Structure formats: C-alpha cells, structure tokens
Amino acid sequence: MSEDQEAQEDELLALASIYNEEEFRRSESTQGGEIQLCLELAKDFKIYLKGGKQTEYAVSFLPPLVLNFELPLDYPSTSAPAFTLSSKWLSRAQLTAVCRRLDELWEDSRGTVVLFSWIQFLKEDLLSFLSIESPLEISSPARAPPERTKGEADAEKGTGKDLPDPRAVVDVDPREDILTRLLDFDEAQRQRVFDGRVYSCGICFAEKLGSGCLNFKECAHVYCRACLGQYFQIQIRDGNVQCLNCPEPECSSVATPSQVKLLVGEELFARYDRLLLQSSLDLMADVVYCPRKMCHSAVMTEPNATMGICPSCQFAFCVLCKRAYHGVSECQTTAEELQSLREDYLSASAEGKRFLEQRYGKMVIQRAIEESFSREWLDQNCKGCPRCGTNIQKIDGCNKMTCTSCKQYFCWLCLSLLTHGNPYSHFNNTASPCYNRLFQGVNMNDEGDVWSDEED
C-alpha cells in the first residue's frame, strides 16, 4: 500500500472513531464520506426572517453543514479532496466564500491530511469568518438572492471571484417555510439533548433520564412523567383543566397541550381539550350555548342582540332567558335563575361585574336584582291565593282572608278555600285543622280588644 493510501485510511479510521454514525458516514464504494457539522451558537442566539415582521426567535441549534468529500488517489501528497458543502441556512455567496477558504487551508498544508483542519474551521471559526452575529437574518429561498453581507464581502475582498462556487449547495426547497424548518430543527435538537441528560424529579426525588421526564418550557423545571401523569389525570377527571401547571411552589408555568397529551392518553386528553375549549368560550362575552340539552353547541352573538341561532340545530332562542326567542316581550325568568344571576353579580369582582353586564346587559342585571329582592320579600311576607295565585299580604285582622283579585275566601293558616255562605265554619268545625284558630297570631291593642296571643 502506498503512503497516500495509508494516510487516507488512517484519516478515515480516525474520523470514524471520533464521530458517531449520524455525524460521519464513510462511503462504501470510494475513499470518501459525509460529515455533518453542528455549529456551537452563543447563548441567546436569535434569528429572524428577512422581509418579515422582524420577529426574533431564540435558537440553540441550527441545521448542520454537510461536507461531502472524495479522496483522490494522490491525496494528500499532490491533490486536494474533492468536496461539496451544503447548508439550509447559509446563502450561496456565504458558502462560496467558505469553499474558497477551505481551498486556502489546503494550500497552506499541501502534502499533509487536511480534513481535520477543515472540520475545525467549520465548527469553530465559521461564524467569525462570515461575521455572523445575533440576530441572524435568514432569507427565504423563494426570494431573490440577497445582497452580500459585510462578512461575505470581506471574505471575498481581493479575490476577484464573484461567481458562485459550484461546490456551494443551498439545500432548501423553495416551496418550504425556511423559518419553520429551522425552529423545528432547534426544538428537536433541544429535546434530543434533554433526553440524554439525567435529572432529579422534584416530586419523587428519583434520578431519571430526560427521556422519562417532562420539562416545563417557561420555567425549565423538570419532573418525571410518572408523577406528572398521575397529577394531570386527577386534575382532568375533576375538571380542573386550568390547573395543569408546574408543581413547583409559586410557579405559574403551564403544560402545553402536546405535553398533556403525552402524559394522559387519548381519552383523558379528549376530555381536557373539550373542557379547555369550554372554559375559554365561557370567558367570551359574545359566546353563549344552545339551551337544548341534546345540543349545547357554542353560539356567537352580535353585540346588544338578544337572539341567538344555533349553527348546529338551528334553534332560535333568547340569549337572556335561554328560552325560545320571544321578540320584544319580556323574558319569563324563573326565580331560581334570577337568584343565581343576582348572587353571581353581587359576589363578582369589578371585572366580573363588567363581564356580566356585557353579556346580559345592565338593564337585565338590574331587573334580576330588583325582582330577586322583590320575590324574597313576597316569599317572606305574602302567601299566594289558593285559587288564582295572587300574592296576598296579611297586615291585620282574622285568618279568614279575601283575595283582592278573584274575591275568593280562604284560610290564611292552611290556605283552604272557604265557602261564601259560611266561611267561618272552617274555624268552628272540631274536625278542621284550624278549629278555634280564627284569631291565632293576631296582636290585640290595649284599648278594649279582648283577644291576645297568650289567650289563643
């Protein structure tokens, strides 16, 4: 074996021993291979899309540079490796400048192996060579080629070479969203690093790999999936879908829906998703629910409108009393509904009161309070006529009452109907439950009245 072949074999074996199979793949048919190089980014490194809303996104990883190479027979004594360099986030001009820098490194070390020098430059010096700093501007492949940056111009200054290098490959589909692609890659790499580390669960205090743990994105607190899964399942079964937060005391971080789905399974997640949607709709003043029990779909309403039409069952209803739409006629609200609305309003905060006023209207709230108080007073001080239901208040006199509406005689004590011919027979009949109780409860004054409560 010649010296060149020995040097090539030693270099390829060294690469295979240093890098794993995902980072370095040796070619089976030729003396060559492919190396994927991930750059080390500074902390809080950010990117943004050129021509977009200038929104910056923090990333820890960018897709790797891919160096494909083939070693000629007379490498390293005479010829340099043949290569291509591809990237998903560098421009063609930037890659061209890098390819020419690799040529310079070969010229500086001609006669010796150069792959490790190339790898070191690409991993450690590339960003400074191209003057790339945070925030990094990313150009969409669908756009026209961007103008050269200062780093690119400096890299090519004095070379007299402005044409793109055919070895520089921009590996991006013009139809894809490059920013989404980069953010997805960063998220996947973060998860991969997290899965390989060991963490202590803050609940069971066991040491577990990140692949068996969950990391809250906002606060970065870590708990094992077994403990969090049990906690989330209990909360969802109890309907507390707004409480799936980090167990750390005084921490307000909330688990994302994808994290919840990972821990509780399909059935409980469906319940969680349904309850979360319903709780969100409940906070919207312009959303009500169809009052039909078989439907109960969410219905959007117009501002100050009193009619809602369910998009599912087409039922037209009053958004105030939840009954069939009755036009301009007053709502026939039950005492229980008015009582519930009054209690909700009186116990609510200032913001809660505004929300109820926006949903039901101030006039409806006022009527609910007034009618609720009126009904309470009537229940405490009046009785309904047993014939027509008119509210009757007893101020004075005996227990034989006359309805002011239908003129029916009735007993105030037991609400029995009394005959017009002899209404007092009810109080004189020994078999009557109100026997001898005609004046029971009547307060007599001291000016000649002969009856008293004690004598009764």
pLDDT digits (tens, 9 = 90+) for 172-228: 877 778 888 898 999 889 889 899 999 999 889 999 999 999 988 888 899 999 999
365-380: average pLDDT: 75
Rounded to the nearest integer, the mean pLDDT of the chain is: 83
What's the pLDDT at 306?
A: 79
Specify the pairing of strand 65-70 against strand 82-87: antiparallel
Classify burial at 159, counting beta carbons within 10 Å of its beta carbon; exposed 0-12, middle 13-18, buried 19 or more: exposed
In three-state secondary structure terms, 46 is strand
Closest to 30 measured CA to CA, from 78, 68, 80, 79: 68
Inform me whether the pLDDT recorded for 446 exceeds 50.
no
Q: In this predicted model, which residue has the larger pLDDT, 348 or 65?
A: 65
Q: Greatest CA span in the chain, whole angstroms?
A: 142
What's the pLDDT at 103?
A: 94
* Both structure tokens of 78: 């005479």
Specify the pairing of strand 82-87 against strand 168-170: parallel
Active site residue 224: no
pLDDT digits (tens, 9 = 90+) for 381-429: 888 898 888 888 888 889 999 998 888 999 999 999 998 888 899 999 8
319-344: average pLDDT: 73
Domain annotation for the chain: domains and CATH numbers: 3-175 (3.10.110.10), 196-282 (3.30.40.10), 287-381 (2.20.25.20), 392-456 (no CATH)
List for the chain the helix, strand, coil content (%; round to 5).
35, 15, 45
- Structural Rg of the chain based on CA atoms: 42
CA dist., res. 429 & res. 441, Å (int): 19
Contact call for residues 415 and 383 (beta carbons, < 8 A): yes
* % pLDDT > 70, the chain: 87
What's the pLDDT at 130?
A: 92
Inform me whether the pLDDT recorded for 453 exceeds 60.
no
CA dist., res. 359 & res. 351, Å (int): 12
What's the pLDDT at 447?
A: 45
| DSSP assignment of 390-446 | -EEE--SS-SEEE-TTT--EEETTT--EE-SS-TTHHHH-TTSTTTT-TTTT----S
pLDDT digits (tens, 9 = 90+) for 72-110: 999 999 999 999 999 999 989 999 999 999 999 999 988
Which residue stretches of 71-206 are H helix? 92-108, 115-120, 126-129, 150-156, 178-195
Contact call for residues 12 and 33 (beta carbons, < 8 A): yes
What's the pLDDT at 241?
A: 79
Assign 3-class secondary structure to 126-155: HHHHCCCCCCEEECCCCCCCCCCCHHHHHH
302-318: average pLDDT: 85
Question: Which backbone phi and psi does 392 adopt, to 5 degrees?
Answer: -120, 130
* Both structure tokens of 402: 């006359």
In three-state secondary structure terms, 83 is strand
What's the pLDDT at 448?
A: 42
Contact call for residues 80 and 170 (beta carbons, < 8 A): no
Q: Of the ranges 143-147, 271-275, 298-302, which one carries the lowest mean pLDDT score?
A: 143-147
Confidence of residue 285 (pLDDT cuts 50, 70, 90): low
Confidence of residue 151 (pLDDT cuts 50, 70, 90): low
Contact call for residues 300 and 310 (beta carbons, < 8 A): no
Inform me whether the pLDDT recorded for 154 exceeds 60.
no
**Which residue among 398, 403, 406, 414 is the active-site one?**
398
What's the pLDDT at 279?
A: 72
Confidence of residue 44 (pLDDT cuts 50, 70, 90): confident
pLDDT digits (tens, 9 = 90+) for 262-283: 888 888 888 888 887 777 666 6
* Both structure tokens of 251: 């921490």
